Structure 1
Amino acid sequence: MNIQAAVFDMDGLMIDSQPYWQDAQLEVMQNLGVPITRQDTIETTGMRVDEIVQSYFAKTPWESISTDQVCQRIVHRVVDLVQEHKPIMPGLHHAIETCQQLGLQLGLASSSPMSLIRATIDSFDLHGIFEVQVSGAELKRSKPHPEVYLNACDALGVPPARCVALEDSFVGLLAAKSAEMKAIIVPEASAFAEPRFVISDKKLSSLGELTVDLLESL
C-alpha cells in the first residue's frame, strides 16, 4: 500500500458548517449595509474568510469597523452555531475508523482559523484522533494553493505522494492535487455530477462509502 497518512479537510467534509458560514456572512455583511445574497456566499465556498471579506470590501467599502473585526465577527458566529448545533457529517466516524484499521496517520488541514478547529474537536470529542491540526488562516496563500496541505504532510513526516486528502470542495481538491497528494472528493449532492471533479482519484457521495479496499487501491 502506498498511502501512509490521511489528511481531512474540515468544513463541509467533517462538519456541515457551510450553511453556518453562509448565515454568518449574510448576518454580518448585511448589518454593514453590504448587498449580499446566499448565492454570493455559496460561490465563495472553500475560500478563506479574510479573502471573502476583502472581496466584499473592495466592492462596497464600509467605515465603521476594520476588515479584521468583520472576520472575527463571522468566525465567532460560526463557532457559536457549530457548538450549538453540532452538525457532524454522515460517515465521519466510519471514515476515521477505516483509516485507523490501516494504521494510517491522521491529520486535519483547514482554511478555517484554529478557534473553529478547536471548537470542532471539542464539540465532537475528537481529541487524540488527529496527530496534526493545521490552519491555513494565517498563511500567506490559502487553498487552492497547496501550502496548508504541504504543511500538514511535513508535520506528519510523510511525503505528499504517500498522503491522501479527503475534501468536499473543488478549491480544496485543487490544493491537494497541487501538493501532489492523492485526493478523495466527497462533494455536496447538488455538485456531485460536476465534471471538474474528474481530477480526483476517487469520488464518494458520503464518507460512509470509504473502505479499506478503496484506500489500498490508491
Structure 2
Amino acid sequence: MVQAVIFDMDGVLIDSEPYWAEAEQHVFRQLGVTLDPAITSQTSGMTTRAVTELWFKHSPWQDLSIEQTEQAVIDYVALAVLERGVVKKGVVELLQQLQSWQIPVALATNSPASLMNTVLDKLQIRSYFQALCSIELVTQGKPKPEIYHLAASKLGVASEHCLVFEDSVTGLTAAKAAGMKVVALPAKHHWHRTEYDQAESRLTCFSEIQPAHFQAWGFTGL
C-alpha cells in the first residue's frame, strides 16, 4: 500500500538534464577536457562531485580544484534554471492530486540544496513537499539507497510503503535498493534500457497517468 510519494528532481520535476550537459561542455572544455560521449552517457543521475571526479580521472586539469570545478558546474545549471526552467508537463497536476488525497510527498535529489531551492522556487512548487533531501544530508548519494531511506524517515513512512518517480537508472537503482516501488520516466534516448524493466511502470510523462495506474501502484481508499 502506498502511503507516501518521493520525487527525484532533475529530469523528473524539471527538464534540467540538458542544462547539466551544457554545463559540463562549458566548464570542462574550458579546462581542456575533451568530453567522451561514451563517458557522458553514463553520468545521468550521478552526483556533481562524482561526475567531476570521473572527468578529472579521465583527463586531469590544473586551473581549478575539484571543489571549484564542481561549483562552476552547479552555478551554470542554476543560472540556466533561473533563465529557462519550466516545470515538466503534468507535475503540478499530480502534486495537486496527491495533496488532495493527503498523501505526504518528499523530494530526494543528488543535487545540492542550493540548486534544489533554486528549482523549487523557480517552479513555485515548494509548498507541495513535506520533506526535502539534498546530497549534503547523506554520506553516499544515489545509486546508494541512503537518501531514499532518509526521505521516508522524514515523512514517517516505512520505505516499502513509498512510491518513487525517477528518470535515471542511477535513481531507479537507489529506490529499488531502498525497497520502494518505482515509476520510471526515462529520457527518450534511454527508453529501451533493460534496467527500467524492474520499475512498476515506464512513462514518457506524468500526463499519461490514468486512475488505473494509482490502483496498480498500490494506492487504496482514494
Deviation of 1:102 after TM superposition, in Å, equals 2.7
The runs of 5 or more residues in structure 2 that have no matched partner are 218-222
1:47 aligns with 2:46: yes
* 8 Å Cα contact 2:86/2:123 also seen in 1: no
Shift in alpha-carbon separation, 1:138–1:3, aligned structure 2, 3 A = closer
**1:26: which partner in 2?**
25
* 8 Å Cα contact 1:53/1:70 also seen in 2: yes
The runs of 5 or more residues in structure 1 that have no matched partner are none
Give the letter aligned to residue 209 of structure 1: E
Shift in alpha-carbon separation, 1:189–1:59, aligned structure 2, 3 A = closer
Shift in alpha-carbon separation, 1:206–1:119, aligned structure 2, 3 A = same
Q: Which SS does the other structure have where 1:43 is aligned?
A: coil
Q: Equivalent residues in 2 for 1:78-93 (5 A)?
A: 78-93=77-92
Deviation of 1:137 after TM superposition, in Å, equals 4.4
CA distance in 2, matches of 1:212, 1:96: 15
Give the letter aligned to residue 69 of structure 2: V
CA distance in 1, matches of 2:51, 2:127: 32
**1:191: which partner in 2?**
190
**1:105: which partner in 2?**
104
Q: TM-score, normalised by structure 1?
A: 0.94
**2:167: which partner in 1?**
168
Residue range with higher mean Cα deviation, 100-109 or 135-144 = 135-144
Deviation of 1:40 after TM superposition, in Å, equals 3.6
**1:209: which partner in 2?**
208
Q: TM-score, normalised by structure 2?
A: 0.93
> Runs ≥4 in structure 1, deviation > 3 angstroms?
37-40
Q: Which SS does the other structure have where 2:163 is aligned?
A: strand
* 8 Å Cα contact 2:92/2:125 also seen in 1: no
Deviation of 1:19 after TM superposition, in Å, equals 0.4
How many residues align? The count is: 217
CA distance in 2, matches of 1:87, 1:37: 29
Over aligned residues, Cα RMSD in angstroms? 1.5
Alpha-carbon deviations, 1:18-54, whole Å to 9, x = none? 0000000110000011111456433210100100111
Q: Which SS does the other structure have where 2:108 is aligned?
A: strand
CA distance in 1, matches of 2:37, 2:93: 32
Deviation of 1:192 after TM superposition, in Å, equals 1.8
CA distance in 1, matches of 2:189, 2:136: 27
